[in-house]
Amino acid sequence: MTPHPQRRRRGEDRREQIIDQALESFAENGYHNSSIAEIAARCGLSQPGLLHYFPNKAALLSAVLEYRDRLDYDRLGMSRQLRGKDALQQLVRLVEHNMHVPGLVQLFTVVTSEAVTLDHPARHWVINRYRILETYLAGALEGGIADGTFRPDIDTPAVARQISAMMDGLQLQWLLDPDQVDMAELFRTYIDELTTQLSR
């Protein structure tokens, strides 16, 4: 039997609340140091009440990471393949936006660091995310080569990895010392210099 629309809406609202609170907990404490009981308490739920929506902590982490992915893919415009300089400037806008959502940046940094261990439940997500981003960025660079904006001799996968590494490194430094590290300005300067190097 289909749930009543109002009951379904309440269930969806509760799921969103749980994901929001889990995101904060994972960002603050890491995956292993967060507990279902603590996240449930943040939501005003019992532990069995939370498990009604998510069967275990790994499923909850998966929902949190999917939520973060949707936000990033929308902001990056990954539903369509941007080309050349447009794609690089979109990355600058993404980094600028990330300075306004430190919790999401912290979540990504913490989970990515933890996922170097073989048994971490987010390991596949992290590896896959880097591969997707590399493919997207390499495609953007190849688009710039095709339209004559960028030089034809670019090793596009290598440059894509360099861009990703720069983003991650700046995020880490910014989280550690936000008053001294202007992540957006440093990344904008890097992309401007990289664009000049790649251009014909």
The predicted pLDDT at position 77 comes to 62
- Reported pTM: 0.82
Q: For 145-183, how does the pLDDT look when each residue is reduced to its tens digit (9 = 90+)? A: 999 999 999 999 999 999 999 999 999 999 999 999 999
The predicted pLDDT at position 11 comes to 79
Structural domain count, the chain: 1
Side chain identity, residue 5: P
Helix (H, G, I), strand (E, B) or coil at 173: helix
Q: For 77-105, how does the pLDDT look when each residue is reduced to its tens digit (9 = 90+)? A: 666 677 899 999 989 998 998 998 898 89
Give yes or no for a contact between 198 and 144, defined as CB atoms under 8 angstroms apart. yes
Q: 9: pLDDT confidence band, cut at 50, 70 and 90? A: confident
Assign 3-class secondary structure to 63-76: HHHHHHHHHHHHHH
Give yes or no for a contact between 115 and 124, defined as CB atoms under 8 angstroms apart. no
Q: 17: pLDDT confidence band, cut at 50, 70 and 90? A: very high
Q: 68: pLDDT confidence band, cut at 50, 70 and 90? A: confident
What's the average model confidence in pLDDT over 183-194? 98
Q: Which residues contact 166 (CB under 8 A, 6 or more apart)?
A: 187, 190
Q: 4: pLDDT confidence band, cut at 50, 70 and 90? A: low
Q: Evaluate if residue 2 carries a pLDDT over 60.
A: no
Find residue 193's DSSP bridge partners. Answer: none
Q: Which domain holds residue 103?
A: 5-198
Q: Evaluate if residue 1 carries a pLDDT over 60.
A: no
CATH number at residue 150: 1.10.357.10
The DSSP annotation for 34-68 comes to --HHHHHHHTT--HHHHHTT-SSHHHHHHHHHHHH
Q: Evaluate if residue 191 carries a pLDDT over 80.
A: yes
* Helix (H) and strand (E) counts in the chain: 9, 0
| Interatomic CA distance for residues 151 and 142, integer angstroms | 10
